[in-house]
């Protein structure tokens, strides 16, 4: 089967929006400040963005709160007109979905459920609040399976009747740009993906761009 070029799909969508002069609303699931940095700048001129910090996978609580506060600091220091919706710390849904899958390596079934759960919450909220589109920063990570993320997002979009914005934020040197922006703003760059299992096995996700 031919591989879908999700970066091209996003470029085409942005060109289409520019042509019709529209700036639709977008609910952007954000995993952390470094992954959000390039993504926000890339999308900013095209959408009225609301960032959604919903990551029950992150452990421990101090880490969750720190990643969230770094995201808020970034948005404030970049002086972007972006709203933020954030969730209080509640890791229970993550531990339920990860049950029996604790030992699996990253990019396996536990990760698919983890990503799927966060996308589902985003799709639900996008539908509930009437956003034109929803998407996630997760495709910027070279450690994540962008094909899976996009397929999952597309299916959830259909299920909820909310338009999923296909993406591959690695394109246009997005990942490199996120590292430069992380340096510029002095962002905390975690060295594990997020959950307690990735923390134990840290080293596989160097520089933490894969939450």
Binding site for ligand SF4 (CB under 6 A): 57, 106, 110-111, 114-115, 193-195, 197-198
Contact between 135 and 164 (Cβ < 8 Å): yes
Strands, E assignment, 34-102? 48-53, 83-86
CB of 45 to ligand SF4, least distance (A): 30
Reference 106, options 206, 3, 6; nearest CA is 206
CB of 163 to ligand SF4, least distance (A): 24
**Under 8 Å CB-to-CB from 79, ≥6 apart: which residues?**
none
Which is nearer to ligand SF4, 131 or 197 (by Cβ)?
197
CB of 106 to ligand SF4, least distance (A): 5
Which is nearer to ligand SF4, 27 or 114 (by Cβ)?
114
CB of 69 to ligand SF4, least distance (A): 19
Reference 61, options 87, 84, 37, 36; nearest CA is 87
Distance CA 13, CA 99 (A): 38
Which is nearer to ligand SF4, 99 or 183 (by Cβ)?
99
Which is nearer to ligand SF4, 38 or 144 (by Cβ)?
144
């Amino acid at each position: 089967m031919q591989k879908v070029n999700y970066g091209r799909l996003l470029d085409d969508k942005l060109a289409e929006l520019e042509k019709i002069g529209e700036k639709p609303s977008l609910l952007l699931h954000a995993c952390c400040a470094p992954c959000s940095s390039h993504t926000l700048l890339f999308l900013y001129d095209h959408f009225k963005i609301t960032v959604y910090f919903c990551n029950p996978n992150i452990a421990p609580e101090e880490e969750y709160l720190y990643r969230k506060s770094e995201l808020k600091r970034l948005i404030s220091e970049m002086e972007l007109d972006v709203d933020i919706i954030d969730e209080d710390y509640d890791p229970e849904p993550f531990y339920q979905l990860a049950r029996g899958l604790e030992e699996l390596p990253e990019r396996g079934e536990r990760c698919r459920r983890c990503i799927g759960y966060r996308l589902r919450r985003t799709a639900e909220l996008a539908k509930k609040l009437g956003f034109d589109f929803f998407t996630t920063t997760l495709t910027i990570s070279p450690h994540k399976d962008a094909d899976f993320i996009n397929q999952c997002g597309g299916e959830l979009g259909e299920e909820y009747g909310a338009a999923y914005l296909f993406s591959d934020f690695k394109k246009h040197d997005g990942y490199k740009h996120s590292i430069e922006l992380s340096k510029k703003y002095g962002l905390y760059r975690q060295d594990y993906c997020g959950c307690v299992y990735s923390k134990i096995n840290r080293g596989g996700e160097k520089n933490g761009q894969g939450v």
